[in-house]
Amino acid sequence: MKLVKYEFKQFEEKYSRFFSLSLDLLCIANFDGYFKYLNPVWTKILGWSIQELVAQPFIEFVHPEDRESTIVAAEKIAQSVDAVSFENRYLCQDGSYKWLSWNATAFSEEQLIYAVARDITINKENEIALQKSIKELEAFRFALNAHSLVAITDITGKITYVNDLFCEVSKYSSEELLGQDHRIINSGYHTKEFFASLWKTIAQGKIWKGEIQNKAKDGTFYWVDTLIAPMLGQDGKPYQYVSIRTDITQRKLSELALLERSRLSVLSAEVSLALSQSGTLPEILQNCTNTISQYLDIGFVCIWTFERQTNQLQLQAGVHCTDITCSTLSDTQDFPEHIALVNNIIGLMIQNHQAIFNQELSVNHSEKLIESTFSISRFSAYPLIVEQQIIGIMALFSKQLFTEPTHNLLNWIANNIAVAIDRIWAREELLSRREALLLRLASQIRSSLDLDMILETAVNEIRSLLQIDRCYFLSYLPHPSQASLTITYEARNPNLTSMLGSIPLQKSNFLTQNLLSQELICIENINSKSQLDYDIQKLLTEFGITSQLMLPVKSNSGEIGAIVCSHCSGDRIWTNSEINLLQAVCDQLAIAIDHAQLYTQSRTATLEAQTQAEKLTETLHKLQQTQSQLIQNEKMSSLGQLVAGVAHEINNPVNFIHGNLTFANEYFQEMLTLLHLYQQHYPHPEVEIENFAKKIDLEFLTSDLSQLLSSMNMGTNRIREIVLGLRNFSRHDEADKKLVDIHEGIENTLLILHHRWKNNGIGFDITIVKEYGNLPLVDCYAGQLNQVFMNILTNAIDALEESMVKIKTNHKPQIVIRTEVLESKFVVIRIADNGLGMVEDIKKRLFDPFFTTKQVGKGTGLGLSISYQIIVEKHGGILNCLSEPGKGTEFWIQIPI
């Protein structure tokens, strides 16, 4: 027994030594959540004493974020017989936390938990840092893929990876790119040396940076800011390349556009300078082509003009460029005609006068090209047009596509070249034909009889032909009381001040004396002309005149004047040929002035006679109008008297009949009552009476006679209405103005014309639409106003009948009568039909006396003329007609209330 106790004590001491010397954290805990036993490592690692750790529940030392998972693990340990592993963070005495990895087992019989913990703080922190790095790398990769074009190639340049943005920008799918090299997106913009330098850099394991222009699948170009990083193996040599690109197309296009604008601005200035230089036409155009070749990437630039006699294209200037130099084209044989230029493309341009821009050309015989290393693929051509006539062509061949600004500038250059060619041709023609033009001018001046046109033409043509700054006509009027010297006509450079107007007498003595003595004044430089009067020299200096030529003009009628040519830009040598020709012009001008004066005098006499004739014509016209009006008034007066008389004669018997119809109806009713009484009290009459009743159809007689009397009563009422309408329409007893109801006059007119607008037996049934406004009584000549209504409505009915005959469709004729008050001052009556309408020529003559479009015998042509006089002259109103062919006609009557 003692031996057993001794051995057990030794085992306990060994166990205690193992427990205290273990590097792991060993513990025994109760199920109640408190530590029962802890080895010394706890104090070493966490800094707490054993007493402090035992005094509190172990959950108090667990990190708040790990407590829930620790409680779950403790419950699992208590319920399981197997070991449970978990991790959590434990609080140290200094406030920090240590990561512990646990292995624990429970003994239910003892209600104890045996656990081993190990400090894994360093490993855990490394793991957390690694996960963080992985997340950051994922975020970097996401950002890189979202904003950059990423591609990976192997050592030979074959593409092994591309991201989505690379595919999106290049327009290729990843399947189309993988296994290819970057030649698939090569735009051809960069030289071979450029790519050789790039590969040399990355092959040495160095990073390459730069900007590259690539070509997408659809043929568009894009720019990328590129970084190529070699991935190095253990031997220090690249085994693959990662390229990261940023799309900078917009920025690059802006930079290129800015650079292009700058280059094009310089080009336009240089071309303008070349065109302003003196020289022959080929020299000037060659300077232009040389300038264009300096600033544009072209293979050829040529300018042709049409030979003015044969209209054949003639090469005036041209330049041929290679990658190295540019040279002048000496003749047409230097130009590659095999590119099908003249016959096809330029032939089409001559027809439509439209520019050709960036047209692709297929080169079938490249070996025939001069310096064929330059591959010509684009052709542009511009017509040289002056006043809508093509005078030449400018053509360019280029390797690259021209941009829209370049196209616009080339259009501008072509227009300026065309103007320059036209100016040079005009100058050459002017030099060769100056004398002929001057003589022709004299002939034109002499043939004209308009003095103003003669003098104005003279000063303009002389200034244009002699290319001087100013030409004017000086007129001298020797008035007995006070003479005057006036500049009446002038042609001048727009930048100069006008000299038109009177010249003060104190400044005109020198000019007056020379005019009176008919002396020519030739001043090549006013400063070297010592005999000049001080006042005239001062006058010339005031207007900037440096040289002057004055040629007097004296007509046979005594008019005195002078043609004065002046220059304001230095000396001007007036040649003898110019003076002689101008003198001849002045002689012709004097004759023309005499002719113009004679013409003016005769024209004045003619105008007087014409004015007198117009007055007589107007008087005759007024007499005709008065006569026609008197005739019409007499006709209307007679018609009014006749209508009034007839109405009176008809009215008396009709009133007698109408009055007796009432008694006749009463008598008939009484007799009918008596007959019914007989039938009631003697239901069985004699056979003779019964037979006679059947013979006369007594029932029908009694019913129809009542209706017959009613119809007769309606007829007499209708006759009375017509008679009343005739009396109201004629208004024979109302010749003076009085307040009347306009609507009553319209209704009376419609009543009289009832037989015309209702169905007249040949199928015309005109609808009358009345849109009457609330009109006051109007102070007017009622009878004459009714006459106007009669004329307009009759014309409307005639027009509708004509339209029905011509159209022959389901056209429904209609007349619309509208009345309204306008601005509380006027009454407006509008009568509109939906007939054929009128053309403008007929509408203009509508109110002329005796003008009619009706057949002979159907119209006098006076109705609308008299209506116009009644409305406009009698009532101070307005009568207007609105009509268009196919849209009917509307008459607008407006009279003051």
Work out the angle between the directed axes of helices 249-276 and 281-295 (0-180°, nearest 10): 160
Would you state the structure tokens that stand for residue 542, as one six-digit string? 């005031």
Task: Label residue 260 by pLDDT band (50, 70, 90).
Answer: confident
Least confident of 350-354, 387-391, 642-646, 785-789: 642-646
**Confidence band of 701 (pLDDT split at 50, 70, 90):** confident
pLDDT at 5: 46
DSSP tag of 362 = -
* Alpha-carbon span 833 to 836, nearest angstrom: 9
What is the Cα–Cα distance from 118 to 22, expressed in whole angstroms?
11
Taking the C-alpha atoms of residue 607 and residue 619, their distance in angstroms, rounded to an integer, is: 18
Average pLDDT over residues 800-817: 79
Residue 194's identity, in one-letter code, is F
Evaluate if residue 338 carries a pLDDT over 50: no
Structure tokens at 475: 């007129």
List Cβ neighbours of 564 (8 Å cut-off, separation of 6 or more).
Answer: 471, 472, 473, 474, 548, 549, 550, 551
Tell me which of 99-103, 317-321, 554-558, 739-743 is least confident: 554-558
Measured CA to CA, the distance from residue 185 to residue 177 in angstroms comes to: 9
> What does the chain come to in residues?
897
Buried b (16+ CB within 10 A) or exposed e, 48-62: beeeebbeeebeebb
H or E segment and range at residue 577:
helix 576-681
The closest alpha carbon to 724, from 793, 817, 650, 783, belongs to: 650
Cα 890 to the chain's mean position, in Å? 37
Torsion of CA 619, 623, 628, 633, to 10 degrees: 120
Q: In this structure, what are the phi and psi dihedrals at residue 95, rounded to the nearest 5 degrees?
A: 95, -10
Please state the φ and ψ torsions of residue 753, each to the nearest 5 degrees. -90, 15
Q: Where is 617: in which H helix or E strand? A: helix 576-681
Find the range with the poorest average confidence among 38-42, 298-302, 499-503, 648-652: 648-652
Report how far Cα 494 is from the mean position of its chain's Cα atoms. Answer: 34
Question: How are beta strands 889-896 and 826-833 bridged, if at all?
Answer: antiparallel
For residues 148 and 54, the answer to whether their CB atoms sit within 8 Å is no
Beta strands in 701-801 (DSSP E): 738-740, 767-771, 778-780
How far apart are alpha carbons 704 and 694 in whole angstroms? Answer: 15
The dihedral built from the CA positions of residue 591, 594, 597 and 603, taken in this order, carries a sign that is negative
Helices (H) and strands (E) in the chain, counts: 23, 29
pLDDT of residue 431 exceeding 60: no
- Please say if the pLDDT value at position 92 is more than 90: yes
* pLDDT score of 837: 86
Task: Give the span between the Cα atoms of 333 and 409, in whole angstroms.
Answer: 29
Q: Is the pTM of this model over 0.95?
A: no
CA gap 783, 789 in Å, rounded: 10
Highest mean pLDDT among 10-24, 271-285, 702-716: 271-285
- Count Cα neighbours of 522 within 13 Å in the Cβ-side half-sphere: 11
Q: What is the dihedral of CA 508, 511, 517, 523, to 10 degrees?
A: 160
Higher pLDDT, 526 or 374: 526
Q: Residue 862: is its pLDDT beyond 80?
A: no
Residue 372: per-residue pLDDT: 41
For 796, the token pair is 């409307």
Task: Give per-residue pLDDT as tens, 143-164.
Answer: 666 568 888 889 888 988 888 8
Q: Which amino acid belongs to residue 405?
A: P
Residue 339 is predicted with a pLDDT of: 45
Q: Determine the residue type at 652.
A: N
Residue 230's nearest CA partner among 196, 270, 201, 258 is 201
Least confident interval from 138-147, 167-176, 383-392, 724-733: 724-733
The residue among 295 and 364 whose pLDDT is bigger is 295
**Among 461-475, 647-661, 797-811, which is the least confidently predicted range?**
647-661
Q: CB–CB of 14/104 below 8 Å?
A: no
Q: Name the phi and psi angles at 358, rounded to 5.
A: 55, 45
Confidence at residue 99, expressed as pLDDT on a 0 to 100 scale: 92
Nearest to 34 by CA among 55, 49, 52: 55
User: Whose structure tokens read 């232009």?
Assistant: 288
pLDDT tens digits along 218-240:
888 888 888 888 888 888 888 88
Alpha-carbon distance of 403 to 304, in angstroms, equals 24
Q: How far apart are CA 79 and CA 69, in angstroms?
A: 16
Query: Strand 767-771 and strand 814-822: pairing?
Result: parallel
Check if the beta carbon of residue 290 is closer than 8 Å to that of residue 431: no
Q: Which residues contact 191 (CB under 8 A, 6 or more apart)?
A: none
Tens digit of pLDDT for each residue in 761-771?
A: 555 678 889 89
What pairing do the DSSP bridges indicate for beta strands 221-232 and 208-215? antiparallel
> What is the structure's pLDDT at 816?
92
The torsion defined by the Cα of 412, 413, 414 and 416, in degrees rounded to 10, comes to 90
- Residue-level pLDDT at 832: 92
* Orientation of helix 782-807 relative to helix 742-752, angle to 10°: 50
Contact status, residue 895 vs residue 867, Cβ threshold 8 Å: no
CA dihedral (247, 252, 257, 259) in degrees, to 10, reads -170
Q: Over 60: is that where the pLDDT of 801 sits?
A: yes
Mean pLDDT of 829-850: 82
pLDDT grade for 340, boundaries at 50, 70 and 90: very low
Alpha-helical (H) ranges within 41-191 are 41-46, 50-55, 67-79, 121-147, 164-170, 174-177
Q: Is the pLDDT of residue 316 over 90?
A: no
Give the mean model confidence (pLDDT) for residues 580-585. 79
Q: Cα dist. 876→618, 780, 783, 897 in Å?
A: 22, 10, 16, 11
- Spatial CB neighbours of 445, under 8 Å, sequence gap ≥ 6: 454, 457, 458, 585, 588, 589, 592
Tell me the backbone φ, ψ of residue 502, rounded to 5 degrees: -80, 145
The number of C-alpha atoms within 13 Å of 326 and in the hemisphere containing its C-beta is 19
CB 104 within 8 A of CB 84: yes
Beta-carbon contacts of 166 under 8 Å, excluding residues fewer than 6 positions away, are 149, 150, 151, 177, 245
Collect all residues with Cβ–Cβ distance below 8 Å to 81 and sequence separation of at least 6: 105, 106
- Contacts for 703 with CB less than 8 Å, ≥ 6 apart: none
**Is residue 707 scored above 80 in pLDDT?**
no
Looking at 258-267, 572-581, 651-660, which range is the least confident one?
Answer: 651-660
* Backbone φ, ψ for residue 310 (5° rounding): -95, -15
pLDDT at site 818: 92
Contact 475, 554 (CB under 8 A): no
The model's confidence at residue 1, banded by pLDDT at 50, 70 and 90, is very low
Q: How far apart are the first and last CA of the chain?
A: 154
**Mean predicted confidence (pLDDT) in 38-57:** 88
Quote the CA–CA distance of 674 and 680 in Å, as a whole number: 10
pLDDT of the residue at 369 = 42
Mean pLDDT for the chain overall: 78
